[in-house]
Amino acid sequence: MPWITYTHISHTNSGKKDNATPLFDWGKYYEKDGRIVMPISVQAHHSFVDGIHMGQFADMLQNVRKPAQISNPTEDRMVNYASRFLGTRYRLGASGPSAFDCSGFTSYVYKNFGITLNRSSRSQFLQGEKVSVNNLRPGDLMFFSSRSAGRGNVGHVAMVVSVDPANGTCKFIHASVKHGVTYQSFPDNGYYSRNFLGARRILGTSLDATAQASK
């Protein structure tokens, strides 16, 4: 039968755990209503595991819980702090607190927690660590192209405030040209989905460690 560990599902043809090889990682699954859900494409590709039909294997997985992510206590405080500026007007080049542009807003929020971000969205895209859109956490920065920057070039930045892994969605806060500081759902099947370029993690990286060490 498959060997089940905290981090991956593996299988073995010999029946010995030492010979087990990783088969699935948790990134391909998510929990919904307390049950682990796997994509149809994965089920079709791996129809049998050591002679056990995938339908039976899936049933076995329902009793396996994905370990909870260890939260960074700064995440909640950062999200709450950012929400104080909802409705603040947008102004190009402004870095707060009476007005912000997009990178001025993210810089201002992070500065409150002792972390220095570069001033432009393009240069912030070079900071921290790359993170998959499927692995976002509150505090992560999301980057987009813009009309002024041109297709494929970073021209806008936002900060993740909540994530719903079951639905593959998140919500971010940003300084919008039209609406000032506001929330936005992602994906939106529109402007932000079309212009998304990538995400970066700052909390828990060397930038964060440097800030903590200086306190």
3-state SS string over 43-97? Answer: HHHCCEECCEEHHHHHHHHCCCCCCCCCCCHHHHHHHHHHHCCCCCEECCCCECC
Question: What architecture is domain 73-213?
Answer: Alpha-Beta Complex (3.90)
Terminal C-alpha separation, the chain: 51
Structural tokens at position 62: 């329902």
Question: Which segments of the chain belong to CATH 3.90.1720.10?
Answer: 73-213
Instruction: Give the helix ranges, DSSP H, for the chain.
Output: 40-45, 54-61, 73-83, 102-111, 121-124, 191-195, 206-213
Nearest one of 185, 160, 179, 155 to 88, comparing CA atoms: 179
Query: CA 165 to CA 163: how far, in whole Å?
Result: 6
Is 170 a known active-site residue?
A: no
Instruction: Given the residues 8, 46, 102, 179, select the one marked as catalytic.
Output: 102
Confirm if 20 and 11 have CB atoms less than 8 A apart: yes
Could you tell me the pTM of the whole model?
0.68
C-alpha dist (Å) from residue 53 to 43, 47, 111: 10, 6, 53
Confirm if 154 and 78 have CB atoms less than 8 A apart: no
* pLDDT tens digits in sequence order for the chain, 215 residues long: 343 333 334 443 444 444 444 444 444 444 444 444 444 434 333 433 444 344 544 454 444 444 445 667 899 999 999 999 999 999 999 999 999 999 999 999 999 999 999 999 999 999 999 999 999 999 999 999 998 888 889 999 999 999 999 999 999 999 999 999 999 999 999 999 999 999 999 999 988 777 777 76
Is 156 a known active-site residue?
A: yes
Find all residues with CB under 8 Å of 69, minimum gap 6, and list them. Answer: 137
Query: CA 162 to CA 107: how far, in whole Å?
Result: 19
Instruction: Given the residues 11, 45, 174, 179, select the one marked as catalytic.
Output: 174
Q: Which amino acid is at 208?
A: D
Query: CA 108 to CA 112: how far, in whole Å?
Result: 7
Instruction: Given the residues 11, 46, 53, 156, select the one marked as catalytic.
Output: 156
